[in-house]
Structure 1
Amino acid sequence: MQAVLAVRSDLPAWLRLAGQVEDLFGPLVDDPEFRAALERNVERGTALCVRDAEGGPGAALAGGLLMSVRPPRYEISWLAVSTAFRGRGIGALLVRSALHDLTAAPGTVEVTTFGPDHPGRRARGFYERLGFEPTDSVSADGTRQTYQLHLQAT
């Protein structure tokens, strides 16, 4: 499997993927702001996806990642892996693929993930294994925390 840039015909598959993670992220499928952000990312080339079984555009997604690119600051704004593909390295593949193309190093990649008191807190270990470090930025209710990865000039 490989991570590729999403195209407009992938949008229905993205929404199906989003529906699988609403228990962690809250309502997404019917949220016009999420849909608009998804469409913006697809149009500007900052939406990566892994399609199920190497399918073509519009195939079911194993995972997806949305990213904001404002060198020297980058942000992973959304990452999800289909329940059927969890534990198979899809999330790591998406993050590494997104980071591979960053050419304005040095810089910082940020992601706001689940805090220590959230049911999705396992994501914290995922980001730590990829080299991200927790910051002091934790939401007041403990459900979100920002992690950073510092890019070094090569």
Structure 2
Amino acid sequence: MKRVRLSTLNDYSDWLKLAKEVEPLFGSMTEDPIFCNSLRQAILKGNAFCITESANDKSGELFLGGIVISKEANEIVWFAVLQHSRGKKIGTTLLSEVMKQLDYTRPITVTTFDRTIEAGTRARRLYESFGFRDSIGAGPNPAGIPTVTMTLERLNANHGIHESGSLSC
């Protein structure tokens, strides 16, 4: 059975394995003390969520993916799913649950691969299925891959209509 939950420091090594797997797309993370400290802080502050599945041998849970958010900035900061779990709606399940933690009355942002990056097609499709749209180029990430900031329109609480979200620099 799959479940989305807040991460704890007990999950830290699983987060590092996930980060190591995606480093070719995101740049060096596991040897970066700033990344490692930021990840620990996100876990401690309740901003890191993971999706797990019960192990077949009853030995515990298998870590399948994780997402870090910033409630203050109303953004998805980091999101990845282990390669062997991709294409199984793991990302959709995780994102669906975690989006409930963000404020729909303000624009919600995420920086992801731009449309020219084939390896980012699944991520872009997932965000687009939630209503995110490209809003501004974000330049290359630490791996040198072009990125874009996508924004989910905010819901106008007074009228129940959507307004385009804007990104302030």
Category of TM-score, reference length = shorter chain: 0.7 to 0.9
Identify the residue that residue 151 of structure 1 maps to in structure 2. Answer: 154
Alignment partners' CA distance in 2, 1:28 and 1:64: 15
Q: How many residues align?
A: 150
Q: Secondary structure at the match of 1:106?
A: coil
Identify the residue that residue 99 of structure 2 maps to in structure 1. Answer: 99
- Larger Rg, first or second structure (1 or 2): 2
CA shift, 1:90, in A, is 1.2
Identify the residue that residue 68 of structure 1 maps to in structure 2. Answer: 70
TM-score by length of 2: 0.79
Structure 1 gap ranges (5+) = none
TM-score by length of 1: 0.86
Alignment partners' CA distance in 1, 2:125 and 2:104: 25
**Per-residue deviation, residues 29-72 of structure 1 (Å, max 9, x unmatched):** 1111111111111011010001233699x8441000000111xx
Aligned-pair identity in percent equals: 31
Q: Partner letter of residue 64 of structure 2?
A: A
Structure 2 gap ranges (5+) = 161-169
Identify the residue that residue 84 of structure 1 maps to in structure 2. Answer: 84
Correspondence list, 1:24-63, <5 A:
24-53=25-54, 59-63=61-65
Q: Report if aligned partners of 2:111, 2:138 keep a CA contact under 8 Å in 1.
A: no
Alignment partners' CA distance in 2, 1:149 and 1:6: 25
CA shift, 1:117, in A, is 3.0
